[in-house]
Amino acid sequence: MNPLFEKFCLMGGLFSILGFIHFFVDFVCQTHFEAMNKHNNALIRARHCAIYTLGFLPVLFFMHACGVYTWLEMFIAVNILFWSHFGEDTYYPVYLWARYIRRPSEMTDPIVTTNFVGHQVVLPPDPKAGFIKFINTTLGKILMIAVDQIIHFAFLLPVAWMALN
């Protein structure tokens, strides 16, 4: 069998284990309070990300004990896990995706309103307010969660890739 293909398959196996840990720690070990407040409170987000990263330590230590990871690679993996999660849980990357790629009408359409004398006024779109409207729709919630998870999983790839070198 091709050695590169074998590495690719081993990476896939490790990636699936990391993915399971991600879902378990990110969903099961997160309180409702954290889920609702982490995006705009750095301390709550840091606590959540510390717990999230701790969930990976048994596998990372096992990989180190097996000679797969050096201490430096462990340090790098822990930092990738913590800081990528810390950044992503602001939901700013999802906001950027929605604004520049998905472009829902809630974020791009002009705002038509009435001024104090009863005249109709057209204002430029408000992407931030539109994002809140968009993610409060069923489709918006589904896409926000999906894009959020895709980004989280993308950061598991380098953690798995380091194990192959």
- Walking along the chain (165 residues) 10 residues at a time, the average pLDDT comes out as 86 95 95 94 97 97 94 97 97 96 93 86 90 95 96 96 87
List, as one string, the DSSP characters of 111-156: EEEE-TTS-EEEE---HHHHHHHHHTSHHHHHHHHHHHHHHHHHTH
pTM of the model: 0.89
